[in-house]
Chains A and B, each alone.
Chain A
Amino acid sequence: MGRKNIIAALVLLGIGIGYGILTSRLPGSTARGVPGPAFFPWLVDICLLVLSAALLVQGIILVRREGAVRLQLPSWRVATTLILFVIYMAVLPFLGFIWASIPFFAALMMLYGARRKVFIVASSAGVPFFLFYLFGQVFKIPLPQGSLHILGL
């Protein structure tokens, strides 16, 4: 935990410094005693820097007490799920909800341990179609159709 705390504290300190620089560019108060748009961000930034420094100290103490523990990388399943999400979001505007969701759903089902092909095919086709029509027809919230619907797909 100590090493994780140190990494997080350093990242947060970096964010705090960057945020401080951006805050310094905001307009100040318009009249004496009246806080301007930069007032609250300054307070937040000070809190962020102080707490990040405290986390850093805690992390260093933990590492000294327990020794440095090797950091574990996320499992391939976690990484694959996140990559699938990114790909899905990237293709969603072009393919539309149904065509983008079918392979995404099927891939996720396999990641969660589904093996029966009929179950995967039926579910990955059925659930996106059901949601598309439920939202579009019943709730009148149209889901993205993508660019392919121009071709009649």
Chain B
Amino acid sequence: MSSAVLHGFLAASLPINLLATAVGATLGLVVGMLPGLTISSGIIIILPLTFALSPTLAIALLLGLYVGGMTGGSFSAILLNIPGTPSAAATAIDGYPMCERGEAGRALHGAIFASFVGGMASFLCLLLIAPHLAQVALKFRAPDLFSLVFFGLTTVCSFAAKSLVKGLLSAVIGLLIITVGQDPIMGTARFTFGNVYLLSGFNFLTALVGLFAIPQLIINLHDTGRVAAQKVKGGLGSFFPKWGDIKRMRRSIGIGSLIGSSIGILPGVGGPIAAFISYDYAKKVNPNAKEFGKGAIEGVAACESANNAVTGGALIPMMTLGIPGDPVTAILIGALLVHGLAPGPLLFMEHANFAYTVIIAFLWANIFNFFIALGGLRFLIKLLATPKPLLMPTIALLSVVGAYALQNSFYDVFSMFFFGVIGLLMRWLKMPVVPLLLALVLGHQLEKYLRLALTESQGHVAIFVTSPFSLLFLCLAAVSIAWSLYAERKKGRLDADGS
């Protein structure tokens, strides 16, 4: 293991990889900062470029973007009261009042520092937990793996959906789509209508580009012109956060880092929930609680440390179990698959050097993100004035290029557009897209392990409850569905009371 860690460190620290991480972090800060662009769309824009790069270089670039995007989201939340990413929504509660008070620089520096500490805490979790979890996961048999994947899907549905039925339907549509092509056990052609292109099914990345990029273009049609351009009231102040502020933030950062890392491990929960829970806890334990909501730097720190801590946490199930923790890690799985690397317990066995390279690249991504964000703050906030008439058509072209570049095929461009229309229809129906996306990632494994388990038991479904791991995952899946049913009922009751 130690030699793999050393190899990972050396590989991730090669100048070219460090440069890719730094470029990724810069792009992430820009993408995260611009309202209307999400980290997912940022990764989709950059994805076609990574096809020509080595796996290490590609993952370094994408991890930089992931980490930078989380921090960038806080800039527009603080300066404009518009969260650049959903994870930064809670940051605006205290960040924007600080900006209005002329303390924008203080809030931004605090957010960057908290993001850094949160990211580093989650790096430690990733380094210490991931290899051990992978060892445990190696003991999983087909029924355990089926139940694990099933749990991953139900968790995502319950958290991603405002309506459980729509969340589950979205996942089922995804499962229906993955049945097109050859079946994963016997290779029988299914629903291909004699079309050779359909034999290999729909490419996950093509679907991803369509599902995210096309709706993004349409949403932004209603809000044209420049994103925003305004002078920062009170200036940005010093380069580094003040010692007094660091002392004030320490408790909030501790809470945020802990909650963010833990929540990140749970598939589907993600940054926004981690940020709000951390904010709530930080408010409860902070002596300065009555200032929360009026512009407390402790509030900004709690949210920002939490949403950046989610990144490392979300990489744990992705790398060890092949289960994405959030949409971005789902895209990262797709990016690794393009390079012939399948995330999962075997990644640490068969490609241990690469696995540790990813972990160390994540460390570098946090370090670069910190220094680039602090050093480039003045320049970065000027980019908030990027004109949408230039940005959006560029995204449209890049989404077409991204789909085409996968296999140099127009078929992928057409299927990208097809998924874009599905994404638009789902948006129109207020049906979440994330469960569909996760079903596209996990669907093949779900079917494969279900059929392997049933073949092993000669068709007896009891195999899923006799294995302790499988039983545990099925219980967790049941809890997740029950919880979301409860949450939906409670919300319905609150809505009824409200009206």
Contact = CB atoms under 8 A, between A and B. Distances in A.
Interface string A24-45: 0011001011111101110011
Interface string B382-404: 00000111101110111011001
Return the 4 tightest CB-CB contacts between A and B, nearest first.
Answer: A33-B459, A113-B224, A114-B389, A33-B458
B393 A105 contact: yes
B393 A108 contact: yes
Given A32-B458, A40-B450, A19 B176 contact: yes
B455 A35 contact: yes
Interface in B183-197: 183, 185-186, 188, 190-191
A111 interface: yes
A111 B221 CA distance: 7
Interface in B210-230: 214, 217-218, 220-222, 224-225
B211 to A, nearest CB: 15
B430 interface: yes
Given A26-B190, A27-B188, A113-B388, A141 B221 contact: no
12 contacts: A8-B429, A8-B431, A34-B455, A35-B459, A37-B185, A45-B176, A47-B172, A89-B414, A105-B393, A113-B388, A113-B389, A139-B52
B190 A58 contact: no
Contacts of A58: 163, 165
Contacts of A40: 175, 179, 183, 447, 450-451
Residue among B172, B220, B398 facing the most chain A CB atoms (10 A cut-off): B172
Interface in A1-54: 1, 4-5, 8, 12, 15, 19, 22, 26-27, 30, 32-37, 39-41, 44-45, 47-48, 51-52, 54
A63 interface: no
B455 A33 contact: yes
Interface string B320-364: 000000000000000000000000000000000000000000000
A146 B169 CA distance: 40
Interface residues of B, number: 63
A143 B404 contact: yes
A92 to B, nearest CB: 7
The DSSP consensus for interface residues of chain B is helix
A47 B413 CA distance: 30
B417 A89 contact: yes
A47 B401 CA distance: 36
Say which size band chain A's interface belongs to: 35 or more
A97 B396 CA distance: 13
A112 B217 CA distance: 10
Contacts of B451: 35, 39-40
Given A34-B455, A109-B390, A127-B397, 16 more contacts: A4-B429, A12-B173, A26-B188, A35-B451, A37-B185, A39-B454, A40-B447, A47-B172, A51-B165, A75-B221, A78-B218, A105-B397, A119-B389, A123-B393, A139-B48, A141-B52
Nearest to B496: A65
A149 interface: no
Contacts of B179: 40-41, 44
A43 to B, nearest CB: 8
Nearest to A19: B176
Contact of B404 (A86, A109, A144): A144
A51 B170 CA distance: 10
B140 interface: no
B51 interface: yes
Interface in B42-67: 48-49, 51-52
A110 B163 CA distance: 37
Given A78-B218, A113-B388, A127-B394, A92 B410 contact: yes
A77 B221 contact: yes
Interface in A106-153: 108-114, 119, 123-124, 127-128, 131, 135, 139-144
A127 B393 contact: yes
B393 A135 contact: no
A131 B179 CA distance: 35
A141 B405 contact: yes
